[in-house]
Amino acid sequence: MLLEDIGREQPEIAPYPYYHDSVLHSAGYHDINQTTWWVLKHRGICLIGLPAENLAFTVDWNLLQRKMKENLNSYWVSWTRSPSKLAYLLTDSGIEWAVLGVLRLFYVLREHEIVSKTEAGRYALVHLPPKWHQLIQEAINLREIRHGSSYRSKVSRAVEAVRFLRYVINVCNEIRI
């Protein structure tokens, strides 16, 4: 990726080499979206050159939120229906990914800022009903590599996760942008 590509959408950028999930890809796209550009602009750390906040691009916050709602109602809804994603919820990494992933969107849509998944989980412990706290804390513990589950079975945890995902998706869809 070139400096002049920063802040642009995928169709405007030539494919580039990238590394993801322990695989080096010779050409393609990975994480080119409004969220990536917002994080770079507002949280980027300059090693040389211009400070990130001075880079010559802007992020349309309204577009970012619309894209997040689209993601919520396509990608995340599939986690409540797709057999392979439902099966992944039987794993620790699936619980961490899904629970904290939707909570990050919940935070962004409510607070108009992007934070880490762990911070979004901690926020949710304060702002969502206690009924969900065990699952949220479980996801935070998994992310922070704390061992030992508070659930008797991975099946009951996965079932609760599906209910939780549906709940958070509905709550997020009620938030006006």
| pLDDT digits (tens), the chain, 177 positions | 777 888 888 888 899 898 888 899 999 888 888 898 999 999 999 898 889 888 888 889 999 999 999 999 999 999 999 999 999 999 999 999 999 999 999 999 999 999 999 999 999 999 999 999 999 999 999 999 988 899 999 999 999 999 999 999 999 999 998
Nearest CA to 106 out of 6, 37, 174 is that of 174
DSSP state of 145: T
How many domains is the chain built from? 2
Q: Do 66 and 36 share a structural domain?
A: no
Q: Buried b / exposed e across 88-107, counting CB within 10 Å, b at 16+?
A: bbeebebbbbbbbbbbbbbb
Query: Which residues does 110 contact at the CB level (< 8 Å), separation at least 6?
Result: 127, 175
Q: Do 129 and 157 share a structural domain?
A: yes
Q: Do 164 and 84 share a structural domain?
A: yes
**Domain of 123, in residue numbers:** 61-173
Q: Do 89 and 48 share a structural domain?
A: no
Determine contact, residues 15/28, Cβ cutoff 8 Å.
yes
Domain end marker among 54, 70, 97: 54
